[in-house]
Chain A
Amino acid sequence: MGSSSSSQHHFAFQNAEKAFKASVLIQRWYRRYMARLEMRRRCTWNIFQSIEYAGQQDQVKLHDFFSYLVDHFTPSSHHEREFLNRMFTEERFAQDVETEKGADYESIEVPDSYTGPHLSFPLLPDHATALVEAFRLRQQLHARYVLSLLYETRKHLAQLPNINRVSTCYSEEITVCGDLHGQLDDLIFIFYKNGLPSPERAYVFNGDFVDRGKDSVEVLMVLFAFMLVYPKEFHLNRGNHEDHLVNLRYGFTKEVMHKYKIHGKKILRTLQDVFCWLPLATLVDEKVLVLHGGVSDRTDLELLAKLDRHKIVSTLRCKIRKESENREEQKRKVNQTSSGQRPTPWFLPQSQSLPSSPCHLGSGFKAYKACRSCSIPCSSGSVDHKEQSRRQVRRSVDLELERCRQQAGFPGIKEKREPLPWAPDDADCDADAGEVLEPTPEEWKQVVDILWSDPMAQEGCKANTIRGGGCYFGPDVTEKLLEKYKLQFLIRSHECKPEGYEFCHNRKVLTIFSASNYYEVGSNRGAYVKLGPALIPHIVQYQANKTTHRLTMRQRISKVEESALRALRQNLFAHSSDLLVEFKKHDASESGVITLSDWAVAVESVLHLGLPWRMLRPQLVNSSGDNVLEYKSWLESLAKEQLSRESIQSSLLEKLYRNRSNLETIFRIIDSDHSGFISLDEFRQTWKLFSSHMNIDITDDNICDLARSIDFNKDGHIDINEFLEAFRLVEQSCSEDHASACLQSTDTAESGQSSLGAC
């Protein structure tokens, strides 16, 4: 008995031990599985971010392109002069002969066949709710109502201070939402989950309502409607995307013109003004500051409260106030001194406080990360010689351009503001002397800083060279600001976060981002934050896509990963020629193969995305298994995946692919009246300039052939969208459901550093 009970005991003990060990085994294995998923998720995220940041650098490259133009291009014909004129002269939309009055929209008739919502003013809560419902049912608001809503909105906004003050005394809770970027589904979801705005439920929307998503118009309409209905409880802050110049590039302009073919121009014009009137920040209980981007070590809330925000039309281009005498002086001096007021294209990023060519950062994404840790701002290195010769050439081009301008009958460098349609009190438009229409450099910088800055972990304050505006601000900057103005914390948006929100700077800065699935379905959650009288942030997360809920984490990650890899393969294809050159360098014996290790090195040196290539390799390359790759056939397989028409040369397509984002922007700039058409001539000129700058080897004949192979109007005009669509450069079907994937492709990188050289 003794022995049997002890052996039973022993047996039981052994069983327990076995169960323990078995459990450990399973847990251990499972944790490894999850870790690998997590690694994939992080890599995918890095891919999207690096491509996005590389895309932002495009803006900077465009700047370089036009700087190059100014430096090197001498128009040799009247046509070319005209062409340059259009790019280098301020395009004020109100150039139509007819002067427009405020009640102009009343002349627009709404046909009986219109089944969408009708608006009348003053707007009632029911109207706003009906609007949401109508949009949910995919109806479109008639242009007449769009315009009337915009006019009313503008009237309301103009009364508001730069910094709105909200109190939790009146509405018990305040909900702050971040970037929406035209994602109506997210907005509807927020209202559904959190409740519609009401006197008891205050809302603050923190900028970036438009661009990238497909329903920017509808998002704006809803936000403006609720603001008119609940003016005390519903607040909007301006974001860096509430800017007609940014909209040109990131899709809002296109969306408006697509949805409102007849009245789109008018709508855009009106919006340009409405955007300038958006308040800059919101202060909750005098303790929580809500603004779109961030702050700098120079942020001055008193100055921000006082300045005329309406003067800051776009944070991308600054018309700095200068005394007229100074300008005359400088014009005269252009012959002698090294740099006069160089005329710059009106649409370009023109910062007074940043290095002129911030794009030479080596590996883009890594450098972005690196910038945050080194204390020396990134500089372009030794461009001194080029700078000298540039200045000389610039002088003569200055003269040339001045001549062009005079020839074309423009008033010269100092622009005049056209009378705006609705404001009889804008009598200051007769701006000969006296009346100041532009912000001071300091005012402009203050606004740029709060709209564009990002927090960083290191202390200090550095120029934000990636974005091209604003700064990176450290925890010490935050601390000082909070102390100076007796604030508790900051709420900002501007950056996409995987969880929809993120605290930093010791929980003194909260980033809130409300566009879920921003990069791709399943890529990230959206979030909003609620504040009660105690001002304790309560975060609510969501993902406005039902399908992801039913998937496991693995499946969700796979989907997003697929999309990221597709974008990455496109990117690789777009650099085929450079990759081939680089591969050959590693293949001295001309065997046609390189090691996988060399592959990783080569790819990074061409693409500069700072991605973990070795980790990604299994998904990008089907190697024969013995650690080598036949690179030519690999490149060919990439091409096969991308080519849609056999008739188009792969090299040409590759070049177009690489530059499509810039190309599209250039096209839209040329198409200054947003007609959607440019002439064949303009197209050829653009191409000639662009390709010579980019050292692209394409003949005129190639271009003509391409143009001819598209159906364009017999009157020699090219429909921009058709042209880009023909090469799958732009997904035309913005109205279709897979728009989010489409929109990615318009913003993916063209980081062709090697062809740019050191410009």
Chain B
Amino acid sequence: MAEEKEREGTEAIVADLHKKIKEAFEVFDHETNNTVDVREIGTIIRSLGCCPTEGELHDFIAEVEEEEPTGYIRFEKFLPVMTKALLERKYRPIGEDVLLRAFEVLDPAKRGFLTKDELIKYMTEEGEPFSQEEMEEMLSAAIDPESNAINYRDYIAMMVIDEN
């Protein structure tokens, strides 16, 4: 009995997840033929609450792509992989505190800020580098024009408010 109930519970959760995934997918399914451009997969996954690295994203895409990549991802292939990822809580989002510590690593002198040049250097030369567009967009919101620096505590606080 308990097992059955548990199964029902899981089924309900999965059903719910399926609806969520379908909805997110459909936002980008312009032709309504259950496919989306592969370049939108990142946006879809992230909007569902996941926070993969670019590397993880590439792996995910490899899993859902066709044998011969067409540039499009089909929903039938996407759904099971995405569901699994959500159930397993893969690609968990980063907490504020972790983010703060990451900035502090880049600011060993503990000044409380990074200069614009430092930010650019790290974001475009380290890790999984930003494109020029991404860099410009981040700078527009993050850099205080007077100090030409990013006060990362304030920045994080502002972004977190935005999200909610």
Contacts and interface: CB of A to CB of B under 8 A. Distances in A.
A27 B53 CA distance: 8
Contact of B31 (A20, A29, A39, A458): A458
Contacts of B93: 29, 32
B130 interface: yes
Given A373-B32, A552-B141, A26 B27 contact: no
B134 A25 contact: no
A18 interface: yes
Given A33-B163, A35-B43, A457-B31, A26 B52 contact: no
B43 A26 contact: no
A597 B27 contact: no
A23 B106 contact: yes
B126 A20 contact: yes
A21 B106 CA distance: 10
Interface stretch (A324-332, A364-372, A430-438): A364-372
Interface in B56-104: 93-94, 98-99, 101-103
Given A32-B93, A373-B33, A614 B19 contact: yes
A22 B122 CA distance: 9
A612 to B, nearest CB: 4
Contact of B105 (A22, A29, A600): A22
Contacts of B128: 23-24, 27-28
Given A22-B103, A26-B103, A615-B24, A39 B163 contact: no
Contacts of A366: 32
B138 interface: yes
A29 B53 CA distance: 9
A511 B105 CA distance: 48
Contacts of B138: 30
Interface in A2-29: 18-29
Contacts of B53: 24, 27-28
A27 B23 contact: no
Contact of B122 (A19, A29, A553, A554): A19
Contacts of A36: 46-47, 163
Contacts of B16: 597
B161 to A, nearest CB: 11
Interface string A30-69: 1111111011001100100000000000000000000000
B137 A553 contact: yes
B20 A614 contact: yes
A220 B46 CA distance: 46
B123 A23 contact: yes
Interface in B97-126: 98-99, 101-103, 105-106, 122-123, 126
A22 B162 CA distance: 22
A25 B43 contact: no
Interface string A430-459: 000000000000000000000000000110
Given A23-B122, A32-B93, A612 B46 contact: no
Given A24-B53, A29-B94, A32-B93, A554 B162 contact: yes
B147 interface: no
Contacts of B102: 21-23, 25-26
User: Which residue among B20, B23, B101 has the maximum number of chain A CB atoms within 10 Å of its CB?
Assistant: B23
Interface string B26-44: 1111111100000000111
Contact of A31 (B23, B28, B42): B42
Interface string A205-227: 00000000000000000000000
A28 B159 contact: no
Interface string A540-559: 00000000000011100000
22 contacts: A18-B105, A20-B126, A20-B127, A21-B105, A21-B127, A22-B105, A22-B127, A23-B123, A25-B102, A26-B102, A31-B54, A33-B159, A39-B47, A42-B28, A372-B31, A372-B32, A373-B32, A553-B137, A553-B141, A612-B23, A614-B20, A615-B27
